[in-house]
Amino acid sequence: MIILTLNCGSSSLKYQIYDFDKQEVLANGIVERIGIEGSFIKHNASGKEEYKLEHSCPTHKEAIDLIMKTLIDPVVGAIKSIDDIKAVGHRVVHGGEKFSKSIIIDDKIIETFDSIQGLAPLHNPANIIGIKAAQEELPNVKHCAIMDTAWHQTMPQEVYLYALPYEWYSKYGVRRYGFHGTSFLYTAKRAAALLGKDPFKTNLIIAHIGNGSSINAVKNGVSYDTSMGLTPLEGLIMGTRSGDHDPAISFYMMRKAGLTPEQAENALNKKSGVLGITEKWVDRRDIEIAAEEGNERAILAQKMEAYRIKKYIGSYAFALGHVDAIVFTAGVGERGPVTRMLATSGLEEFGIKLDLEKNKSSMTRNAETEISAKDSKVKIFVIPTDEELVMTEDTKALLEGTYDVHTNFTYSFQSKDYVNKDRMKNIDKDLKKFPGIKDIIAKPL
């Protein structure tokens, strides 16, 4: 069975084609700059050179049409016919309180997504556009929604409610929802496998650090608390988002600088974070280079971002009572040794001790590594996330009628014997650059 997964952003569309029978990724890629001049597709088919083509994509409909044509192209494609695709899994950022698991999409589901667009105005509209465009291209297959918020529906009320007028929650749905749930689900199950523990007897703190960042306290295998809130703005310092700050600052700046509510919201979402601190960079690799060259703002941005992560690790450690492992994942989490080092330094008294040399060597998306010191009471893992695999397995199970909430459902990657074939093919490239990886690859206990 071949399954297509789609992840629609406001101006981009990531995709993957997965052959479930062979347990292999046939192709993946991204269409960027949708609705903007200079849009293009970057496509990688298994066993073939990367393919890039500039192509006008005024809307997501043209982007999906471009993906379909590329997938069946006789030279760069990965499948013979669009009819080979048996189902489509769609990432949906916000499902509100209405969904605690993935679901097959119908007209009523789309109406529900439409009704809660205001909870994620930067994400859900693009998700909905992508779903509708894909349904037009592939009208004869099932389309499924995999929601970032579903994982966090296990949070207790005392954790997800804000100390605001209760009517704001009962009438308008104002509460903590949390995001990056698909990533947290995957990494939580993999961490339990590496620890050799029952996933529902495992406590974890998972830091998903990228352009968008959040941290998750996992208690007995389910989400207990998370840093993002009603929207993805709350919590950690991110690429362009402020994270935690005094909410009165917005009102203060509206009065002082004459900002409209829309301008204030835009500043917090698109002009803050490490970009706001450095006034120049978002990419942490650029910040790392600048910091090494002595740029004070770059150094400050690194320290601020890491300190916020450390504060959350500390608070979640006490909230959980016992922690089996700290997990770093996503772009910066997987390839940001400086951030990992700064975020865990000084936590030795709490049994969290990083091995500095192992940490430097862990620079790969193709292997799970252990970077804790031998005498660390708490394991520290770097686990490359695989949201697409979660989406694919959910979609297949929905099609076959075997799917359920993750507490009643077993994923292939929960097994200690699970092997990601595609990452195995690519690890040699990373080993050439960072030979120390081979000594820190995590092995299930």
CA 3 to chain CA centroid, Å, is: 20
CB 443: neighbour CB atoms within 10 A? 9
Do 290 and 326 contact (CB within 8 A), yes or no?
A: no
On the 0-12 / 13-18 / 19+ scale of CB atoms within 10 A, 240 is: middle
CA 4 to chain CA centroid, Å, is: 18
Q: What CA–CA distance (Å, rounded) separates 407 from 161?
A: 23
Do 179 and 299 contact (CB within 8 A), yes or no?
A: no
Q: What CA–CA distance (Å, rounded) separates 351 from 3?
A: 43
Identify residue 218 by its one-letter amino acid code.
Answer: V
Place of tokens 């000084």: 346
Three-state SS for 212? coil
Question: Which distant-in-sequence residues (6+ apart) come within 8 Å of 210 by Cβ?
Answer: 238, 239, 330, 331, 332, 333
In this structure, is the dihedral angle defined by the CA atoms of residues 328, 396, 398 and 87, taken in order, positive or negative? positive
Point out the catalytic residue in the list 21, 84, 148, 244.
Answer: 148
Place of tokens 């997938």: 71
CB 113: neighbour CB atoms within 10 A? 26
Q: What CA–CA distance (Å, rounded) separates 408 from 84?
A: 30
- Backbone phi, psi, residue 329, to 5°: -150, 175
Q: What CA–CA distance (Å, rounded) separates 442 from 444?
A: 7
Known catalytic residue at 148: yes
Which positions are catalytic?
148
